[in-house]
Chain A
């Protein structure tokens, strides 16, 4: 019996969603890490920041926190498959590797959003008194979401690539930071412009183009890794 590509993608999505829900530490570890970082940032800054820089500080806090917590989250992407060598069974089975990757990717975007949104709220909470005049437009949240789309593809790919290596904790940042930084810097700039009320449409298109590029690249290379 043959399973269609779309159906297989849905099967993988459901499966990985179930896995995420069954191992809650995979969600709580990056979330607690983000919260700790934000608390540390805000205690160390204290009252010393000039009011004019509050928006910059807010965006910087959010993105620096995300950078580190995303790495923590992405690095464990294929841990579930490694525990009992399910990765090899997947390689032997008659499944589409594209469907596998897309299923993992969609669940990864959703689970990381669950880490990102509380982190953004916490960052706002600490600086709320100084950000009352700032309008949080739809584009601010969309820039973060768009960054996640590309970074999730890259993160999942690097995680699969380094899955079998013993020194992956050391190697992961060496791959992730240089490759992810164009996307990350662009998204940070767009988020800042969105809060300052500047025109961002063309930059947003570039960001979405980069997302698409990372996703296609990740899909093609994932197939290579599996075969």
Chain B
């Protein structure tokens, strides 16, 4: 299976072309890093891939066993929000998202995963409303949702925002595990690659407006 983007163009009106004829492919078990300065279109590109934003022209599809699919299951981690239900607990949030996907919730697996991400206090994980969580805790919970999902394509927009050093290390470890599970991972960041380098298969740098684009 591979995600193919061909000749993708997007502009906000006539004068602000964000990207033009952008093409790339990501195969299963690969991780694409999208870099670039603020305003270069990283979030817009991920929103387009998530199906949340229309694009001017081009084609996005998944190729699987010689067949092409324009609609495909994916998980999206937003940068500015976490997609959580703030009145519910962390456990209730995770259970809901996994239930909607038909994934059987194993309490032990969830608790183990939660402990790994630093939710060691059962009261905090099972009973405390998410609205009382810090920014980092919300981000970690959101990452848990994405990582536990069985969707084959993961779109992570600025996943390191708000995370502490330990959580960043855990994030990179989890990325490696996801690659082994043959997931297609696309993540964006405005910098701070650090330990991420070794899990990245391809890099795509978006430049603001008319500057050249560089794909490695």
Contact = CB atoms under 8 A, between A and B. Distances in A.
Interface of A: 1-4, 7-8, 11-12, 14-15, 18-19, 22-23, 80-81, 83-86, 88-89, 91-95
B70 to A, nearest CB: 13
9 contacts: A3-B101, A3-B102, A11-B96, A19-B85, A84-B82, A88-B81, A93-B100, A94-B73, A95-B100
A80 B87 contact: yes
Contact of A85 (B51, B81, B97, B130): B81
Nearest to A89: B83
B50 A1 contact: no
B196 interface: no
A3 B105 CA distance: 13
B110 interface: no
Nearest to B145: A89
Given A93-B75, A94-B151, A80 B85 contact: yes
Interface string B34-53: 00000000000000001110
Contacts of A19: 85, 87-88
Given A88-B52, A88-B76, A22 B100 contact: no
Contacts of B97: 89, 93
A91 B86 contact: no
Nearest to A91: B52
B207 to A, nearest CB: 27
Contact of B52 (A4, A11, A12, A92): A92
Contacts of B51: 91-92
Bin the interface of chain B by size: 20 to 34
A86 B85 CA distance: 7
A85 B101 contact: no
B103 interface: yes
Nearest to B99: A11
Secondary structure of the A side of the interface? helix
Contacts, number: 80
Interface in B137-171: 138, 150-151
Contacts of B80: 85
A127 to B, nearest CB: 37
A22 B83 contact: no
A225 to B, nearest CB: 13
A2 B83 CA distance: 22
A85 B151 contact: no
A84 B81 contact: yes
B100 A84 contact: no
Nearest to B138: A84
B100 A12 contact: yes
Contacts of B151: 94
Interface string B73-115: 1111010111111111000100011011111100000000000
A93 B96 CA distance: 12
B76 A1 contact: no
B78 A15 contact: no
Contacts of B76: 88-89, 92
Nearest to A88: B52
B102 A2 contact: yes
B56 to A, nearest CB: 19
Given A11-B99, A93-B75, 4 more contacts: A1-B104, A19-B85, A85-B82, A95-B101
B52 A84 contact: no
Interface in B107-132: 129-131
Given A18-B92, A89-B76, A83 B102 contact: no
Contact of A88 (B74, B78, B85, B129): B78
Contact of B84 (A8, A22, A23, A86): A86
Contacts of A23: 87
A11 B138 CA distance: 23
A86 B86 CA distance: 10
Given A89-B78, A91-B51, A91-B52, A83 B86 contact: yes
Contacts of A83: 85-86, 131
